[in-house]
Structures are given as structure tokens and as C-alpha cells.
């Protein structure tokens, strides 16, 4: 009886550990990891998009039945279903993140790490404080890092606003952490910086997946309110620094809040959202091998569809 019990427990734990694979997203190959634990008679899965963020994304509705692992994150429209193959060495299945794509995962002892020379290194001559606060308007909690010089005075502050897609507070992509680099430079030069995980990433609560730039602007406004209430921040000297879509969101926030001292747009948009969609869709389909004559036929139709939407 004892032997049977042990075998059953061992079988229940066959998924535990780390799994690694590469997810093809257009022309990109995104390193993807799972960290799986078996606790309280159930599996728990943390999902990692290693080229986009170091933060774990906890999955929901995890099941492992007859060798098939399934999980999802409805708020991010993310799901996976894979079958264990090769005597438990691999998981072969389909990941859905917007579109369904094949994803094969292999057991690994640890996830590979990309080392970038520009990543800030200690010693740091400033404080880095983990913070979280509530977006009172939309009732979601946000988490981030506030870097602030050690001097005992009130500082000018900047909020870093991420671009489109799921981003952590460092805006990690392909091992690069541009927001950490920017925050480090500014804080070493006397400016406090708040950088924040997007909804559903790291320590920030997920939304329902229907968020728009208006909702993200509300999250930024909540960050402004947090800084204004901080005893070491000069509430009259708060700046917004937005990258890509963040360069579009920053003016949205400043248009409603006349007390924002200034904004900086890093590769922000200088045309309408519709124009961006038209160019992006043509380039995306061209990169997928769609012939020019097909694009010449399709894009006017897409233009009409965006007008209807």
C-alpha cells in the first residue's frame, strides 16, 4: 500500500519544475518558460515571456488530465494546451496569445539568461523602493519601483510609461531593460523615477483584457497621484516620459492634468491611430509573404473596416 501511494504521488508531480521553449510570433522567436509547482493537491503554473519581461505571470484554470496540460489567463487572452511526450521530457501543444501558435517546451534546470552590458550594476547611490498603489478610478492595484536620491529634500520626479503589449516595469525586451537604464541615469542625476508593471504583469493586477489607452492613461494618473502624496517628491515638478504607445498616453494624461510640468515622447506617434494601423498591417502581411497585388486589394478594404469600427 505504501509503494502504491508513493507511485501515485510521484505521478502527480511529474510536471513540477521548469520548462523552456521558443514561440514564433511573426518574424520573432520569443523565449518562453513555465515554472510548475504541485501544492495542495493541485498544479500551479507561472508563465514567463523571457524576452519581454522577467516577471512571472500566474496562470488560472490549470489542469493536467491524461497527460495533457492546460491553463489560461483570460485577462490577457493567453492560453496553452500541450501533451506530454518523449517519456515526460517535452510538452507539445498550442499557445494562444492573440493567435494560435505551436509551442514545444522541454524540461530545463534553469531558464537561459541574456546578459546585456548596459544593465545597471551596483553599487547604487540612491534608494530603490518597491511600491504599490491603487488606481482609485478603476479599482486595480499597480506595483513598481521608485528610485530616489538619498539627499533629504524634495525631488523632481518622472513616471516612465511603457509601449504597447505586455511590459514589466523595466520594459524588458530581448534581455534589454531600457526603463531601468533610463531610471538609473536620471536618479543618479537627481531625479526620482517611478516605473511600473503593466496590468497583469509582475505585481500589478490584471484587467479583463478589454483595456484601451484610456484605461492605461488612468493608471498613469494614479501614479501621478501616488507621487504627489509622497513626502520626498516635489508635487509641482512631475514629468511624464512615454515610449511608443506611452508617447501617446502621456499627452492624454497631461491634457487632463494641467499641473504636469512636462512630457517627453520617446519614439511616440506623430500620426493618427488609424494611419499607424494601416502601415503596421501592410508591413506585417508583407513580412509574412503576402504578394503586393494582394495587399493593394486588401488594404482599401481594411481602411473601410477601420472606419466602421
Band the pLDDT of 304: cuts 50, 70, 90.
confident
User: Is it the case that residue 5 has pLDDT exceeding 80?
Assistant: no
> What average pLDDT does the segment 46-58 reach?
86
264 CB burial (10 A radius; 0-12, 13-18, 19+): middle
In a domain, 118, yes or no: no
CATH number, residue 138:
3.40.50.1820
202 and 245 inside one domain: yes
Element (DSSP H or E) covering residue 136 = none
Which of the given ranges, 1-5, 108-112, 163-167, 218-222, has the highest pLDDT on average?
218-222
Which of the given ranges, 264-268, 270-274, 278-282, has the highest pLDDT on average?
264-268
Query: What confidence score (pLDDT) does residue 158 get?
Result: 99
DSSP string, 8-76: HHHHHTTT-EEEEEEEEETTEEEEEEEEEEEETTEEEEEEEETTT-SS-EE-EEEEEETTEEEEEEGGG
User: Is it the case that residue 112 has pLDDT exceeding 80?
Assistant: yes
User: Is it the case that residue 262 has pLDDT exceeding 90?
Assistant: yes
240 and 294 inside one domain: no
148 and 45 inside one domain: no
In a domain, 113, yes or no: no
Query: What confidence score (pLDDT) does residue 270 get?
Result: 82
* Better pLDDT: 308 or 179: 179
CATH number, residue 54:
2.40.128.20
Going from the C-alpha of 125 to that of each of 69, 117, 184, the distances in angstroms are 46, 19, 10
246 and 146 inside one domain: yes
In a domain, 114, yes or no: no
> What average pLDDT does the segment 266-286 reach?
86
Query: What confidence score (pLDDT) does residue 269 get?
Result: 83
Domain region containing 45? 10-108
Supply the mean pLDDT for the chain: 90
282 and 160 inside one domain: no
This prediction's pTM: 0.69
285 CB burial (10 A radius; 0-12, 13-18, 19+): middle
Domain boundary among 61, 82, 108: 108
| Residue of 69, 63, 72 lying closest to 82 (CA atoms) | 69
16 and 91 inside one domain: yes
Band the pLDDT of 162: cuts 50, 70, 90.
very high
**How large a percentage of the chain has pLDDT more than 90?**
65
Query: What confidence score (pLDDT) does residue 13 get?
Result: 60
User: Is it the case that residue 219 has pLDDT exceeding 70?
Assistant: yes
Band the pLDDT of 209: cuts 50, 70, 90.
confident
CB 168 within 8 A of CB 199: no
User: Is it the case that residue 83 has pLDDT exceeding 50?
Assistant: yes
> What average pLDDT does the segment 50-77 reach?
89
In a domain, 227, yes or no: yes
Band the pLDDT of 255: cuts 50, 70, 90.
very high
141 and 255 inside one domain: yes
User: Is it the case that residue 2 has pLDDT exceeding 80?
Assistant: no
82 and 179 inside one domain: no
The number of folded domains in the chain is 3
261 and 278 inside one domain: no
How far apart are the C-alpha atoms of 161 and 251, rounded to whole Å? 11
Query: What confidence score (pLDDT) does residue 309 get?
Result: 61
User: Is it the case that residue 11 has pLDDT exceeding 70?
Assistant: no
Dihedral over Cα of 281, 306, 210, 183: its sign = positive
Least confident of 33-37, 130-134, 214-218, 299-303: 299-303
Amino acid at each position: 500500500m505504501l509503494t502504491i501511494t508513493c507511485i501515485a504521488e510521484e505521478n502527480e508531480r511529474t510536471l513540477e519544475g521548469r520548462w523552456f521553449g521558443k514561440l514564433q510570433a511573426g518574424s520573432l522567436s520569443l523565449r518562453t518558460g513555465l515554472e510548475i509547482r504541485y501544492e495542495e493537491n493541485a498544479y500551479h503554473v507561472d508563465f514567463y515571456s523571457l524576452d519581454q519581461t522577467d516577471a512571472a505571470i500566474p496562470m488560472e484554470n490549470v489542469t493536467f488530465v491524461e497527460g495533457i496540460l492546460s491553463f489560461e489567463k483570460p485577462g490577457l487572452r493567453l492560453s496553452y494546451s500541450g501533451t506530454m511526450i518523449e517519456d515526460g521530457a517535452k510538452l507539445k501543444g498550442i499557445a494562444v496569445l492573440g493567435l494560435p501558435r505551436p509551442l514545444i517546451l522541454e524540461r530545463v534546470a534553469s531558464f537561459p539568461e541574456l546578459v546585456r552590458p548596459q544593465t545597471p550594476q551596483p553599487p547604487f547611490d540612491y534608494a530603490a523602493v518597491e511600491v504599490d498603489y491603487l488606481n482609485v478610478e478603476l479599482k486595480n492595484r499597480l506595483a513598481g519601483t521608485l528610485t530616489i536620491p538619498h539627499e533629504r529634500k524634495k525631488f523632481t520626479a518622472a513616471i516612465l510609461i511603457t509601449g504597447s503589449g505586455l511590459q514589466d516595469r523595466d520594459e524588458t525586451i530581448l534581455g534589454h531593460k531600457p526603463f531601468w537604464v533610463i531610471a538609473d541615469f536620471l536618479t543618479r542625476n537627481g531625479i526620482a523615477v517611478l516605473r511600473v508593471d503593466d496590468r497583469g504583469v509582475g505585481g500589478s493586477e490584471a484587467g479583463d483584457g478589454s483595456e484601451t489607452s484610456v484605461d492605461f492613461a488612468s493608471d498613469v494618473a494614479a501614479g501621478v497621484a501616488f507621487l504627489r502624496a509622497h513626502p520626498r517628491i516635489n508635487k509641482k515638478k512631475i514629468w511624464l516620459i512615454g515610449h511608443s504607445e506611452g508617447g501617446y498616453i502621456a499627452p492624454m494624461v497631461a491634457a487632463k492634468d494641467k499641473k504636469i510640468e512636462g512630457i517627453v515622447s520617446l519614439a511616440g506617434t506623430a500620426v493618427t491611430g488609424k494611419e499607424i494601423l494601416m502601415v503596421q498591417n501592410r508591413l506585417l502581411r508583407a513580412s509574412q509573404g503576402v504578394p503586393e497585388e494582394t495587399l493593394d486589394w486588401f488594404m482599401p478594404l481594411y481602411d473601410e473596416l477601420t472606419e466602421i469600427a
